[in-house]
Amino acid sequence: MKEGDPNLGVIAETLTEHGTRYCMAQNYLPAIKDGDKRVLVVDGEPVPYCLARIPQGGETVAIWLPVVAVNLVR
């Protein structure tokens, strides 16, 4: 979607089932093609490892299923 997209209302209604569910939207970052890292926090403290999700070849995002590569990064 782009700013001012005339379908924004319909998309929001569909994703939230007419306002009965939450949804989250975020900007697309082209660097995501290189993978993303998730920092784990336990009791307010970051765990010294993070989860790196690497997209499949030709994909631009790494979805959880199927997982091609997950690396623990210190």
Q: Is residue 2 part of a domain?
A: no
Question: Is 48 within 8 Å of 26 (Cβ atoms)?
Answer: no
Question: Looking at the 3D structure of the chain, how many domains does it have?
Answer: 1
Give the per-residue SS3 of 56-70.
Answer: CCCCCCCCCCCCCEE
Q: Is residue 1 part of a domain?
A: no
Q: Is residue 15 part of a domain?
A: yes
In which domain, by residue range, is 20 found? 8-73
pLDDT of res. 22: 92
Q: Is residue 21 part of a domain?
A: yes
Q: Is residue 3 part of a domain?
A: no
Q: Rounded CA gap, 61 and 68, in Å? A: 12
Q: Is residue 56 part of a domain?
A: yes
Q: What is the pLDDT along the chain (74 residues), one digit of tens a residue?
A: 788 899 999 999 999 999 999 988 888 888 877 777 777 888 999 888 767 777 777 666 666 555 555 566 66
The beta strand positions in the chain, using DSSP E, are: 36-42, 45-54, 69-73
For the entire predicted model, the pTM comes to: 0.42
